[in-house]
Amino acid sequence: MRFVDEYRSGEVARRLAEQIAGLVEPGRHYKLMEVCGGHTHAIYKHGVEDLLPDEIELVHGPGCPVCVIPMGRQDDAIAIAMDPEVIFTTFGDMLRVPASDGSLLDAKARGADVRMVYSPLDALRIARENPDREVVFFAIGFETTTPSTAVTLLRARDEGIENFSVFANHVTIIPAIRSILDSPDLRLQGFIGPGHVSTVIGNKPYEFICRDYGLPIVVSGFEPLDVLQGVYMIMKQLSEGRAEVENQYSRVVRPEGNPTALRAIAKTMELRTTFEWRGLGFIPQSALKLRAEFAQWDAEVRRRVPGIRVADPKACQCGEVLKGVIKPWQCKVFGTSCTPDRPIGTCMVSSEGACAAYYNYGRHAGRRTREAAVR
């Protein structure tokens, strides 16, 4: 219980943990998936699982945007970056992701002009400052970051900036959740819904989880107490036989989401017929591409992108980690040949990846996680 003291209110956490334990039906095992990588990080860092009764297992989901990009897309990114005409701009998280032949950082060492940016608007500024170069922005992320790419595209069009383009890899969370629900590998009892994605999409898109699969989902914040309260609300629904979308994070998430952000996305992007996810394979209508009106700013139209499909390294089990089928420490290469310094898979690269989070904090975790780690 030592982690309780780190919580905003240790007393509230203790009381919540007791109430959760009181809702457990004897003999029943509960698998609850936290969809978002931010939750995974907080859960490991603060040892949330150690506050839960043994019957409740938290399963880590696919909501880490760095983790779900398949190796082929990373190869494509590097192919674009190696063109001497191009200044390739990317969030820092993608720099170290291994592709077939090294990472973007390795490409930079080989002479590619790869620059880390904080925002797509920084990429647009670089395009303004370098009118004789082609500036490509590597756009990744769920609905949390998609609006920023959309607004940047609108700005590029309004200003007539012609040497800027976007390599779009934005993914959408709902088809990924549906794919996991349809997978025979995993039987879940409920979801901790992603907080920041929901500030954009709102609560309504999750209703199918309750209606079609009879499961509860509680959109939750990122602090340990938020996660605990989210678990409590799911357990309460289960004990009362309810399956509803509830919002624990109402201090930030509006039920309708952010209509301005959704409009910006709709103006600039549309669904792809299908998109490959690392570990989950091809999922129909699960990612966005630029609309035809924005072809001029679409790196996949403007540049030569190889588009080759590449299988993950055999030793890497990121796919099973992303589907929640295995825990990070159950992967054969976890902590041995795959570490944050020398990652084989994406889940070990991003701080939101389950493997990196467990590697960094797991050793500080309590009884249950430690026992699991030596199994």
Partner 1 sequence: MCLGIPGQIVEWVDEEHHIAKAQVSNVRRAVNVGLLAEGPDAVGIGDWVLIHVGFAMSKIDEEEAKATHEFLLMLGDPYHEELAELKGSAIE
CB-CB contact of 182 with 281 (8 Å) = no
Which position among 59, 71, 200, 333 is part of the footprint of partner 1 (CB under 8 A)? 200
204 binds partner 1, rule: CB under 8 A: no
Q: State which H helix or E strand residue 164 sits in.
A: strand 164-170
Q: Which one-letter amino acid corresponds to residue 74? A: Q
Beta carbon of residue 92, minimum distance to partner 1 (angstroms, whole number) = 6
Instruction: State whether residue 116 is helix, strand or coil.
Output: strand
Interface residue with partner 1, options 13, 16, 33, 42 (CB under 8 A) = 42
Which sign, positive or negative, has the C-alpha torsion 211, 287, 42, 50?
A: positive
Amino acid at 262: L
Q: Write down the H helix ranges in 3-70.
A: 10-22, 37-45, 65-68
Distance from chain centroid for Cα 195: 12
**End-to-end CA distance of the chain, in Å?**
22
The yes or no reply on residue 196 touching partner 1 (CB under 8 A) is yes
Closest approach, Cβ 251 to partner 1, in A, equals 6
Q: Which phi-psi region, left, alpha or beta, contains residue 102 (left: φ > 0; alpha: ψ -120 to 50)?
A: left
Report the distance separating Cα 319 and Cα 312, nearest Å. 9
Q: Any contact of residue 141 with partner 1 (CB under 8 A)?
A: yes
128: contact with partner 1 by CB under 8 A? yes
The yes or no reply on residue 91 touching partner 1 (CB under 8 A) is yes
Cβ closest to partner 1, residue 58 vs residue 210: 58
Q: Are 114 and 104 in contact (CB under 8 A)?
A: yes
- Provide the mask over 297-336, with x wherever binding to partner 1 is found by CB under 8 A and - wherever it is not: ----------------------------------------
Of residues 30 and 91, the one with the C-beta less far from partner 1: 91
- Which window, 95-103, 177-185, 258-266, 321-329, contacts partner 1 (CB under 8 A)? 258-266
| Closest by Cα among 183, 174, 234, 250 to 209 | 174
Segment near partner 1 (CB under 8 A); pick from 19-27, 91-99, 201-209, 314-322: 91-99
When the beta carbons of 6 and 212 are compared against partner 1, the nearer one is 6
The CB-of-144 to partner 1 minimum distance in angstroms stands at: 6
d(CA 366, CA 55): 16
Buried b (16+ CB within 10 A) or exposed e, 17-53: beebeebbeeeeebebbbbbbbbbbbbbbbbbbbbbe
Q: Give min distance, CB of 166 to partner 1, in A.
A: 13
Please tell me the total number of residues recorded for the chain in this structure.
375
Strands (E), the chain: 30-36, 56-63, 86-90, 113-116, 134-141, 164-170, 190-193, 217-219, 245-247, 269-271, 274-277, 281-284, 288-290
Of 10-18, 116-124, 170-178, 289-297, the segment contacting partner 1 by CB under 8 A is: 116-124
252 is an interface residue for partner 1 by CB under 8 A:
yes
**Region near partner 1 per CB under 8 A, out of 145-153, 270-278, 295-303, 364-372:** 145-153
> Dihedrals φ, ψ of 187, to 5°?
-115, 110
β-strand partners of 361: none
Q: Which stretch binds partner 1 (CB under 8 A): 21-29, 54-62, 194-202, 313-321?
A: 194-202
Closest CB 30 distance from partner 1, rounded Å:
26
144 forms part of the interface with partner 1 (CB under 8 A): yes
Q: Does residue 34 belong to the site contacting partner 1 (CB under 8 A)?
A: no
147 binds partner 1 per the rule CB under 8 A: yes
Interacting residue ranges for partner 1, rule: CB under 8 A: 6, 8, 36-38, 41-42, 45, 65-66, 91-93, 116-122, 125, 128, 140-142, 144-145, 147-148, 151, 155, 196, 199-200, 222-223, 251-254, 258-261, 264, 351-352
